[in-house]
Amino acid sequence: MKLTYEQRQQIREQIRQERQRMEESLDEDSLEALYEEESNTLTRKDVKKIFKQETNEDDVTNAELAQERKEAKRAFKRQERQKAKVEISWNISVGDAVTFDRGGEECFGMVIEQHANGKFRNAKEAKYRGYVLVMSAAGRHWMNPRELTVIED
């Protein structure tokens, strides 16, 4: 249910009047105690600030520890990017006739698109990441090259 601007204004005015009535009904001592209680509660921001400033046995703050962890992560990522990439080239190319196993049945098809050759981060990724599109009597299938066998003339 959507409220109009006037309805929202009326609700706000009612809330203000209710607050005023509550404040008038409370005596000054209980009102001071209420404000004092509100000022003693910690906000989420305060708790985070306190946690950041805490130190452990080695006199290192939590903020410094978090910064060290971030730096270690960055260094590891940088190191991984600089490693030599593994290049792979399958013996399958576009236009090749291939055979593959589909549900226990041997199917024949032709490669019509290939995304299997190239550079990869490691050998496992190179072996399992590439895919080729095969057109067969059963339809078009994206398959991993290791599942295909080239039909020789």
Domain hosting 36: range is: 1-41
Do 134 and 97 reside in the same domain of the chain?
yes
- Helices then strands, counting H and E runs in the chain, come out as 5, 7
Confidence at residue 30, expressed as pLDDT on a 0 to 100 scale: 65
Do 77 and 101 reside in the same domain of the chain?
no
**Residue 114: which CATH number?**
2.30.30.1060
Confidence at residue 112, expressed as pLDDT on a 0 to 100 scale: 95
Confidence at residue 97, expressed as pLDDT on a 0 to 100 scale: 95
Do 3 and 51 reside in the same domain of the chain?
no
Confidence at residue 33, expressed as pLDDT on a 0 to 100 scale: 64
The number of folded domains in the chain is 3
Confidence at residue 119, expressed as pLDDT on a 0 to 100 scale: 81
- Asked whether the whole model's pTM tops 0.75, one would answer no
Do 143 and 101 reside in the same domain of the chain?
yes
Do 96 and 73 reside in the same domain of the chain?
no
What is the Cα–Cα distance from 51 to 49, expressed in whole angstroms? Answer: 5
Do 114 and 133 reside in the same domain of the chain?
yes
Look at strands 105-115 and 118-120 and give their pairing.
unpaired
Q: Which residues of the chain have pLDDT under 70?
A: 1, 26-40, 42, 56, 153
Do 90 and 79 reside in the same domain of the chain?
no
Confidence at residue 104, expressed as pLDDT on a 0 to 100 scale: 87
